[in-house]
Amino acid sequence: MGHVGTAVTNNLLRNGFTISAVTDIKTELCKGYPESIKVVSTPREVAAVSDVIVTGLPKPPHVKQVFEGPDGLLAGMGPGKVWIDHSTTDHEQNKVFSAELIKQGGELLECPITGGLEALKKGQMAVWVGGNKEAYLDVKPVLDASYNSIMYTGGLGTAMIPKVLSNMLCGLQVCAMAEAMLIAKRSGIDVVDFWHAIRMSAGNSFLWETCGPNVFRGEYHDSFPIDLMCKDNQLGYEMARNAKVPLEVFGLMQQVYNRALYSLGPEVGCYAPPKLYENELNESLQAPGFENWKYTVENVDGALHVRHQGIDLEKKD
């Protein structure tokens, strides 16, 4: 019932689904829902009273902790039950979990997500799905409640590949954006004007559209801590090692992120490399006019497009 769990729960309620039970180690996160929803103390209890179980957890050890043991999710599973896990986690670990679930007649669908928390709250995020296709088709209406773009990637393990590599591509762009913005500012260009200039160019991207305003506000995407981004980078490193692909450019990005983690701490947002460079160069990239900025996401020809709200998009001479 963290950021993902809360958003998904609200989306399901808004779309008429019955939520049987919720749980979290932080019990205060389970408050504020209809009395018909049981607040229970273990994953086993959630699984026992539910047809479909949805989780969103920070790291592979947390997923393992939720799954195993006498009070774990596996202990409450049975025939026909489907576990939708939105965690970005170890797909090799998922294969072990799936084998155990199948023995009890259950299924695991790995469903990592992308697009940002604000988009998820509005049911506009994208999700990849890996696992048994029949199970996916059975629970697709549950996914439709929170995602406007759903892609079935194949068997278990396949969905985590685009998720992790997508995050790493974002990390590359964050590092490049930090350098580009500081070059522009030190060369005499207003950083907001520069942001708009790149938006109208071939250098634009989803990341540029959403990271820039976060940096201008001094938030650095604080809803997704850098500790989790570094976890994803390491998952990508392991994928590259197993695939025997050199990780030269991604590897440099990974080290920049590790340096930001060690310098700024694990709770700073995942767009922290600009902050690292700001501190080292004694330059600020914060700018006014983005206090009320929000964005929505639209699926246009299968791609995510950002629609800004709360800022002036008209460039004035």
Splitting the chain (317 residues) into consecutive groups of 10 residues, what average pLDDT does each group show?
A: 91 95 94 94 96 94 95 96 94 92 95 81 86 96 91 94 94 97 97 96 95 95 92 94 96 98 96 97 96 88 88 71
The interaxial angle of helices 273-281 and 206-216, nearest 10 deg, is 50
pTM, two decimals, is 0.86
Q: Which distant-in-sequence residues (6+ apart) come within 8 Å of 301 by Cβ?
A: none
- CA angle centred on 142, ends 41 and 302, rounded to 5°: 130
Residue 300: the pLDDT is: 85
Residue 148: the pLDDT is: 84
In whole angstroms, what is the distance from residue 87 CA to residue 19 CA? 20
CATH superfamily entry for domain 162-309: N-(1-d-carboxylethyl)-l-norvaline Dehydrogenase; domain 2 (1.10.1040.10)
Residue 218: the pLDDT is: 94
Determine the topology of domain 3-156 in CATH: Rossmann fold (3.40.50)
Residue 315: the pLDDT is: 60
Q: Which residue ranges make up each domain of the chain?
A: 3-156, 162-309
Contact 167, 128 (CB under 8 A): no
